């Protein structure tokens, strides 16, 4: 416990927890997209289950550091490019996100309903959880390797991971409901998922794209969309006021 409460440890804990939250944004967005196909009453529990699963995955990787380190050893070479298990996992996860994001975008374009979930089969919940589990492995691998590179104290890393997941659990419903209730925001989130997929594939091929570029582009797009939503809201209020005035005049 003395390790956790020293000034250096507290600073490292705060820094690492913040980093884990930032690195977990793409995971949170993916979970929100994945559970959107479930009935509304199941979404909150699925989000929390998915984040708890992410926490367990990250802690599991954290406590197998020697095995984790071996994942960066090249296991095969393709076109003079050495690839490790980590590289293959990142490439596979990136392809999964590309396919998932592309399918959801196509579904959003061609869907004629009001966006209500169609996944009501008994196994729909477990199918979503399996998807979350697959991508959790990818995001956890990247996140834990980054954490290990910054801090070499396992208790600090474990505490930071748990704290970050608790914060994301508190924000999960807010983020998820906001994405679900705004179709254009959902398209932005899906575009973000596709961009993350491309970044993971590039990282697996040893061409790292800084996440800051992705987050900056999406933050700018989100700001533009927020201005559009604000403008639409103001216009709707003005139209409602004019309609009320017209009704009173007619009355």
| CB burial readout 53-72, b (16+ within 10 A) else e | bbbebbbebbeeeeebeebe
Distance in angstroms (rounded) separating the CA atoms of residues 125 and 147: 31
Containing H/E element for 81? strand 81-84
> Quick check: 13 and 158 in contact, CB under 8 A?
no
Asked whether 199 and 207 are in contact (CB, 8 A), the reply is: no
Distance between CA atoms of residues 123 and 173, nearest Å: 22
What are 238's two structure tokens? 């003005």
pTM for the structure as a whole? 0.73
Q: Mean pLDDT for each consecutive 10-residue tract of the chain (251 residues)?
A: 62 79 81 84 86 85 72 83 87 89 84 50 74 82 69 76 87 85 82 88 86 80 85 86 76 57
Q: pLDDT value at position 58? A: 83
pLDDT of residue 95: 92
């Amino acid at each position: 416990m003395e390790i956790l409460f020293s000034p250096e440890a507290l600073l490292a804990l705060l820094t690492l927890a913040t980093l884990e939250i930032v690195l977990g944004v793409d995971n949170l967005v993916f979970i929100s997209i994945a559970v959107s196909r479930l009935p509304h009453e199941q979404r909150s529990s699925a989000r929390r289950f998915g984040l708890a699963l992410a926490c367990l995955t990250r802690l599991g990787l954290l406590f197998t550091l020697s095995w984790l380190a071996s994942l960066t050893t090249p296991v095969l070479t393709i076109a003079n490019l050495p690839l490790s298990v980590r590289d293959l996992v990142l490439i596979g996860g990136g392809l999964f996100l590309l396919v998932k994001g592309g399918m959801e975008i196509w579904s959003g374009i061609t869907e004629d309903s009001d966006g209500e979930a169609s996944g009501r089969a008994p196994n729909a919940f477990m199918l979503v959880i399996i998807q979350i589990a697959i991508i959790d492995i990818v995001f956890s691998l990247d996140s834990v390797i980054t954490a290990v590179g910054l801090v070499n104290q396992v208790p600090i890393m474990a505490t930071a991971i748990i704290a970050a997941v608790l914060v994301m659990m508190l924000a999960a419903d807010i983020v998820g409901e906001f994405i679900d209730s705004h179709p254009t925001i959902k398209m932005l989130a899906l575009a973000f998922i596709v961009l993350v997929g491309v970044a993971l594939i590039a990282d697996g091929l040893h061409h790292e794209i800084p996440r800051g570029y992705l987050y900056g582009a999406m933050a700018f797009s989100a700001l533009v969309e927020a201005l559009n939503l604000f403008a639409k809201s103001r216009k709707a209020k003005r139209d409602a006021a004019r309609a009320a005035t017209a009704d009173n005049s007619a009355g």
